[in-house]
Structure 1
Amino acid sequence: MKFVVDTHTHTISSGHAYSTLLENAAAAAEKGLSLMCVTDHAPSMPGSPHFWHFANQRILPRFLHGVGILRGVEANIINPDGEIDLQPQITEQLDWVLASFHEPVYRPADKQTHTTTLLNTIASGWVHALGHLGNPNFDFEFEQVITAAAEANVVIEINNSSLSGSRAGSQPRCEQIARIAKDVGASLTTGSDAHFAYDVGRFDHVEALLAKIDFPEERVITSSAKQFISFLESKGTTLETFSAL
């Protein structure tokens, strides 16, 4: 299985990443990607940009180095009500909203609290995907949340960075999450979570995991540009600019 979309990348605007958007796009082109989502950390994360950074993404070209550019964010889940730290008037201007737990923003609690929070985030209708759920600091009821995501057409990210050591203890949990997603009919997205250009489009650990469990390619929305755009259209976003991909 080959992935042609990277749905999780960071630029220097995130405060703890080290490459520019142009450098990331050049790396994406070298890796043969069709599309790349720009997902800098939303304002609650220490060091992250002001909300104007996200509102102003409308100025970004739709193609850089031949790679289609999706305007997005890695939003922070901020409370048990499942709220994120960008207002709807901003997120509705974006193509892609990935929502994640981050320890500096949401203090880890107990399994039930995390479960309730994720269910509320899904129910909010404001996010396309849930990021790096394998983090053992945020345990949750896997089947309950992943089933709810499948029913709400919210995709589950399998994060290459988590599988390569950035969040210790994630690997076996990511495999369990992917197996449950396979069983309950949920779809997946693949993100490098690159904080440096060389990691954009790096999916080696994701590829190995999904091959191991024989996850169906038709439910990995990053396996083709057409499939990814179709997913966004199913969520109400029309991107005629990329119709030829």
Structure 2
Amino acid sequence: MNFIADLHTHTTASTHAYSTLQEMVEAAAQRGLEAIAITDHGVAMPGAPGRWYFHNLGVVPRYYKGVMVLRGQETNIIDYEGHTDQQADCVHDLDWLIASIHDECMPQGESPSPEKVTHLWEQVCRNPHVNVIGHCGLRRFAFDYERVIPQFGAAGKLVEINEGTFRSRPDSILNCRKIAALCKKYRVPVVVNSDAHFSTQVGCFPRAQQLLQELDFPEELVVNSSAEQLRAYLTKYTDVFRSFVSE
């Protein structure tokens, strides 16, 4: 399967990643990618950049080294009602929003039940700004996949197949397989991302790709497998191309 974009990456602005924004985009160009999303963490993550970082992303060229640059954020879900740390005054500065659960940003001392996490994701589905459901196979935050996966599709949310999970969350891989299989069953589009924290990881998804191959996953459901599919999604669900006029 071919991949033309990597739509979940982190830079030194997140302070637990180690390459600059420019280095990440240059790595995408060297990989022959057509697009990259820079998605540093929202403000609730320890060490995350402040709101002015996201406000000022408009200074980043829309195209650099021939690569389209999406100005994004990995917003942190912060409670079991599906609220996030996305700041309202930054909404219009961003093209691309990934919503993810991270232990550090969730209420501490609670043992989440599948029912609570199911409710959480159903609320996230109602957030019109979210494009991607980030690495949702976390073992600690299991939910009713059969119930929620079709809702992701109906709401236009892409389900992420996250290469970083294979590197750092191996106990979640079984859940990721279940989620991918249900995306195939219900024809819910997915996006394959690196979750790169260093430039050499950009555009590298070997284990995620292997998982999709093992499931005989339809290429037409992988949004970043072709420029045409990515453009269709961006046209329908974002203002990326309309913003070209004002730039």
| Superposition TM-score tier, normalisation by shorter sequence | over 0.9
1:135–1:168 CA contact under 8 A, matched in 2 = no
Query: Structure 1, residues 127-173: CA drift from partner, whole Å, max 9, x if none?
Result: 00110111112111111111110111111000001023x11312111
1:49 to 1:238, Cα distance in 2 relative to 1, 3 A: closer
Q: Tell me, yes or no, if structure 1 residue 175 matches structure 2 residue 185.
A: no
Query: Aligned residue for 2:230?
Result: 228
Letter in 2 for 1:37: A
Aligned with 2:18: secondary structure?
A: coil
- Within 1, Cα distance between the matches of 2:11 and 2:240? 25
Secondary structure in structure 1 of the residue aligned to 2:8: coil
How do 1:92-241 and structure 2 match up within 5 A?
92-107=92-107, 109-164=112-167, 166-239=168-241
Whole-angstrom distance in 2 between the partners of 1:155 and 1:182: 13
Give me the whole-angstrom Cα distance separating, in 2, the residues matched to 1:96 and 1:236: 8
What is the distance in 2 between the residues matched to 1:189 and 1:135? 17
Specify the alignment match of 2:26 in structure 1.
26
Three-state SS of the structure 2 residue aligned to 1:73 is strand
Residues in 2 aligned to 1:91 and 1:101: alpha-carbon distance in whole angstroms? 19
CA distance 1:69–1:238, change in 2 (3 Å): closer
For the residues of structure 1 that align with 2:67 and 2:242, how far apart are their CA atoms? 15
Q: In the alignment, is the contact (CA less than 8 A) between 1:41 and 1:48 conserved in 2?
A: yes
For normalisation by structure 1, the TM-score amounts to 0.94
Asked if 1:39 is matched to 2:39, the reply is: yes
State the secondary structure of the residue aligned to 1:239.
helix
Contact 2:95 2:238 in 1 (8 A): no
Gaps of 5+ in 1: none
- Greater helix proportion: 2
For residue 68 of structure 1, report the CA deviation from its aligned partner.
1.0
Instruction: Give how far 1:241 is off.
Output: 7.7
| RMSD over equivalenced CA pairs, Å | 1.4
TM-score (norm 2): 0.93
8 Å Cα contact 2:5-2:36 kept in structure 1: yes
TM superposition shift of 1:62: 1.1
1:3-45 CA-partner distances (Å, limit 9, x unpaired): 1110100000001000001111111111111000000001000
User: In structure 1, the residue corresponding to 2:105 is in which secondary structure?
Assistant: coil
